[in-house]
């Protein structure tokens, strides 16, 4: 997998921060009112693209949150990648959350699929079916199939994924990024025990959202 971790700021934001920062500095000397606006945009972008290190939970059966945000769905649903009936957990990221995406379990990527689509509000149920998305099917080290789907939101216009079919990844490892508001859906085999509940705020790569049923 392409290495994409950064100690403080995600590389996805470097070019934006450079351009906005340079414009803010330049306008400080010529257009004070514009400088104020640009500095606001700069500091907003700085917090949006922050990428703090995370320590994943131990244990083969634990499933960690693939993203920072608020849990908006916990319940049974049909897995769009496998057709199986699964436990679905959805996490909504607003513009103030960290937007790095992390693998929920350790394992091998057995399928990756990108689907073009709409840009409805990511908090809506129809976003899972109709929005632009990138899906990964992971075969865990315990032999279970877990699906993790990055979904674009109302103003999110770019989904980035750095892992490919056939590659292995570790739980909590950074694998992608979605710009400006979005959600991530995780589908787990029935029998998995949800730990997170609707309304909970979770930390990507760190919070446990479910426990897989042991084989």
Give the domain ranges of the chain: 11-48, 62-211
pLDDT digits (tens, 9 = 90+) for 58-72: 888 899 999 999 999
Task: Evaluate if residue 126 carries a pLDDT over 80.
Answer: no
Q: How many angstroms separate the CA atoms of 60 and 79, rounded?
A: 22
Question: Which residue, among 80, 214, 209, has the nearest Cα to 151 in the 3D structure?
Answer: 80
pLDDT digits (tens, 9 = 90+) for 187-211: 999 999 999 999 999 999 999 999 9
Catalytic position from the list 61, 140, 182, 192: 182
Is residue 45 flagged as an active site residue?
no
Q: How many angstroms separate the CA atoms of 120 and 112, rounded?
A: 22
Which tokens sit at 75?
Answer: 């319940």
CA distances in angstroms from 187 to 80, 128, 147, listed in the order given:
9, 12, 5
Q: How many angstroms separate the CA atoms of 24 and 54, rounded?
A: 32
CATH topology of domain 62-211: Glucose Permease (Domain IIA) (2.70.70)
């Amino acid at each position: 997998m392409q290495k994409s971790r950064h100690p403080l700021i995600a590389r996805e934001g470097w070019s934006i921060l450079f351009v906005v920062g340079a414009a803010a500095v330049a306008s400080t000397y010529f257009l004070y009112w514009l400088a104020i606006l640009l500095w606001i945009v700069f500091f907003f972008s700085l917090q949006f693209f922050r990428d703090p290190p995370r320590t994943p939970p131990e244990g083969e059966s634990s499933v960690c949150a693939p993203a920072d945000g608020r849990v908006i769905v916990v319940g049974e649903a049909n897995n769009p990648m496998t057709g199986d009936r699964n436990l679905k957990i959805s996490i909504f990221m607003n513009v103030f959350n960290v937007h790095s995406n992390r693998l929920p379990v350790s394992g091998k990527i057995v399928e990756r699929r990108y689907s073009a689509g709409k840009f409805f509000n990511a908090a809506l149920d129809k976003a899972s079916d109709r929005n632009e998305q990138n899906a990964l099917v992971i075969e865990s080290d315990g032999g279970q199939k877990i699906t993790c789907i990055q979904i674009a939101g109302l103003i999110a216009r770019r989904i980035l994924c750095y892992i490919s079919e056939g590659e292995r990844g570790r739980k909590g490892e950074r694998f992608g990024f979605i710009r400006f508001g979005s959600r991530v859906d995780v589908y787990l085999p029935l029998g998995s025990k949800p730990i997170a509940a609707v309304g909970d705020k979770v930390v990507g790569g760190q919070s446990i959202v479910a426990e897989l049923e042991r084989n």
